[in-house]
Structure 1
């Protein structure tokens, strides 16, 4: 007969090579993730530098054009001074006409105000086609008020103690250039945002291909040894010299492996969601899991849901999420502590909240931001994929949320799973 000690399942230990390979994979995943994030920041910095350089260059062009327009208006003022103070000279009249043409070329709005404060004449002031004298006068006064705020007047010496003033505003081209940097910056930001979306989409697609390939390959590789193990179970049962309990224990582990294989094979495929009783699934799985972790970990389930409360879930994948979060909690507590699972439906919402709280070591804010990153783990062993897969299962397949609700160093961490609840009639 086999003693009770012999009947106990042997403790599974990872081979050193397997541990090394898992650590290498985790580092590879983290390096890939960090590298892609690094490229994202580089692209952002390049766009920022281009935007700043473009803004400075455009601002310089605006300043030069503004100075040129001011010189043209000053020349126009000087020409008017000669017209009012010099005898008629046909040659100068031609020169003055050239100066006026320069003002017109740059489309600089100009209004001359004489010594009696009467605005006349004007250049490049637009009037409606059917505008009468009164309306034109109103438009000139409005333009003049704006010009006084925009630029100081350029005085015109009329002689004999008389002085007029020329008021002007920026040309339409200069006004456009002033607003162009803001338009340019907006375009740059839009391009950066679209590039970020494209980069993120490509990264997620690449990660999804990695997860799907890894999961499918794992399920495929497990298929052959599982078939062999099932054959060995039948062989042990047929041999009367072998204790039947051995075959039963091996069969339990084989069934467990088959369930894991099914989980991996579902990754990448659209899982079938069924209307399942949430309380029953969570309670039964916690009861199952409690017997398979450290005896020094106490599980408690606090249910505030109605017995008939259901949600659309895939049972195998959902139990996998609960398992990953709970095992992460067990590791955080070093195999000693309490795990409290609370099920509730907040009022005035269509959600179900499942809070999984442990009494472990907690985590820093920096780790809270990285806990779901692929390959991230605070343990020496492990691939850092459990919580990543759990988050993908909840968010991608169940349209829910998985996040760290709270964490405090030395006191523990609470994870929250949020699901869409079916309304109870």
Structure 2
């Protein structure tokens, strides 16, 4: 199991669990508050209805008691409507005065002059919101009290969803910051290790170059093919050391012919690989791009090594170069007829530490993706099928294009 991916998944799970716990707790507690406040508002609506009934049905009560009843009734701050058994509106409270067009809210139905459409809309809304409070009169008739929730209760109902949204935003930001810090720490470690490796390689490489010159002089073998290949390998080590020394710094890019650069490296790589593997370079030979030769060779090297490892016995590796002139892009497709990659791993293979081999650090394609980004390009698995092979695609921005001169 890839430890990097496992830890990342674990942190995702913990953050999600944290969000769910807070969300559930918020919903449960808010639901409790909503029920308590809703019960309190229903009691207020009942008190208002009873006080209104008292004012209408007990006209001979002394003024002091009537004042008390008025004070109790006026303490209600909920929009409410009272209807009779036929559904006719008798009294109302805290509705829009511009819509009701009424002289006094204590007027009886005979003196009411109201907007029927507005009242019907309000009454229907109240009916949908709460069951009516039924008041039995001394005459045997019944009144029905309907009311709206207060603004505070309506806001409290939506509060947990607002809170959950804010928590989600916070978790997204926290997750992004955590990932950024973790990536920065990893980058610092890799940069330090790379520069130290380059420093350590410098001395033995210089010594090997000196020993090769001594061998040529001692045995008078200036044009010996074996020594020439050894020298190429030592020079290759110098290139590798130079690559590692440049990790963490911005590479310099210069204009190069893409086909020529790839062909030069393939010629070097071909003689150091099994002769059962065939290399083919095809496509446009004249496109150019801004490249850093050391890093670009490293990109091609990693992809070719992966292709060779994917081919168990003998096979073919094809490098196809093409250009999309309209978008000013260069496509470099590297294909093999090896064992292929499962579709579920198309993205995972570029993660640090991911590998399907028994031996290996799983850093090759991660570094490759980083180096392609230095060239302001993209790399991805274009297509792959288990048992049939894989094609990686590199997309670079094209630079100048020239036509070869005739000899």
State TM-score, norm by structure 1.
0.82
Aligned residues, how many? 390
Aligned to 1:299, the other structure's residue is in SS state: strand
* Distance in 1 (alpha carbons) for counterparts of 2:262 and 2:137: 96
Aligned to 1:252: 232
Question: Contact between 1:230 and 1:251, CA under 8 Å: does it hold in 2?
Answer: yes
Structure 1 residue 284 and structure 2 residue 264: aligned? yes
Aligned to 1:81: 53
Q: Give 1:171 deviation, angstroms.
A: 0.4
Structure 1 residue 413 and structure 2 residue 393: aligned? no
Question: Contact between 1:330 and 1:336, CA under 8 Å: does it hold in 2?
Answer: no
Aligned to 1:96: 69
Q: Structure 2 vs 1, CA of residues 284 and 60 (structure 1 numbering), >3 Å: closer, same or farther?
A: same
Q: Structure 2 vs 1, CA of residues 83 and 135 (structure 1 numbering), >3 Å: closer, same or farther?
A: closer
Aligned to 2:236, the other structure's residue is in SS state: helix
Write the mapping of 1:188-337 to structure 2, written as runs, cut at 5 A. 188-240=167-219, 245=224, 246-303=226-283, 305=284, 307-337=285-315
* Distance in 1 (alpha carbons) for counterparts of 2:357 and 2:395: 27
Q: Give 1:125 deviation, angstroms.
A: 2.8
Write the mapping of 1:12-161 to structure 2, written as runs, cut at 5 A. 30-86=2-58, 88-90=60-62, 93=66, 96-97=69-70, 99-104=72-77, 108-114=78-84, 119=89, 121-127=91-97, 139-161=118-140
Q: Give 1:391 deviation, angstroms.
A: 0.8
Q: Give 1:346 deviation, angstroms.
A: 4.1
Aligned to 2:399, the other structure's residue is in SS state: coil
Q: Deviations over 1:119-142 (max 9, x none)?
A: 4543233446x9965897765554
* Distance in 1 (alpha carbons) for counterparts of 2:257 and 2:331: 14
* Distance in 2 (alpha carbons) for counterparts of 1:241 and 1:279: 37
Write the mapping of 1:359-374 to structure 2, written as runs, cut at 5 A. 359-374=337-352
* Distance in 2 (alpha carbons) for counterparts of 1:242 and 1:276: 34
Question: Contact between 1:77 and 1:155, CA under 8 Å: does it hold in 2?
Answer: no
1:384 maps to which of 362, 385, 390? 362
1:375 maps to which of 328, 347, 353? 353
Between stretches 131-140 and 57-66, larger displacement belongs to 131-140
Q: Which runs of 4+ in 1 moved over 6 A?
A: 134-138
Q: Give 1:94 deviation, angstroms.
A: 5.4
* Distance in 2 (alpha carbons) for counterparts of 1:127 and 1:83: 22
Q: Deviations over 1:279-335 (max 9, x none)?
A: 2222332333222211111112231x3x44222221221121111011011101125
Aligned to 2:352, the other structure's residue is in SS state: coil
Question: Contact between 1:351 and 1:420, CA under 8 Å: does it hold in 2?
Answer: yes
Aligned to 1:376, the other structure's residue is in SS state: coil
* Distance in 2 (alpha carbons) for counterparts of 1:51 and 1:74: 34
Q: Structure 2 vs 1, CA of residues 300 and 243 (structure 1 numbering), >3 Å: closer, same or farther?
A: closer
Q: Give 1:116 deviation, angstroms.
A: 7.1
Q: Structure 2 vs 1, CA of residues 101 and 403 (structure 1 numbering), >3 Å: closer, same or farther?
A: same
- Unmatched segments (≥5 aa) in structure 2: 103-112, 403-407
Aligned to 1:43, the other structure's residue is in SS state: helix
Aligned to 1:51, the other structure's residue is in SS state: helix
* Distance in 2 (alpha carbons) for counterparts of 1:277 and 1:300: 17
Aligned to 1:4: none
Q: Structure 2 vs 1, CA of residues 160 and 131 (structure 1 numbering), >3 Å: closer, same or farther?
A: closer
State TM-score, norm by structure 2.
0.85
* Distance in 2 (alpha carbons) for counterparts of 1:333 and 1:92: 100
* Distance in 1 (alpha carbons) for counterparts of 2:380 and 2:60: 87
Aligned to 1:13: none
* Distance in 2 (alpha carbons) for counterparts of 1:277 and 1:99: 91
Q: Give 1:170 deviation, angstroms.
A: 0.7
- Unmatched segments (≥5 aa) in structure 1: 1-26
Q: Structure 2 vs 1, CA of residues 352 and 249 (structure 1 numbering), >3 Å: closer, same or farther?
A: closer
Between stretches 199-208 and 185-194, larger displacement belongs to 199-208
Question: Contact between 2:27 and 2:160, CA under 8 Å: does it hold in 1?
Answer: yes
Aligned to 1:400: 377
Question: Contact between 1:51 and 1:185, CA under 8 Å: does it hold in 2?
Answer: yes
Aligned to 1:16: none
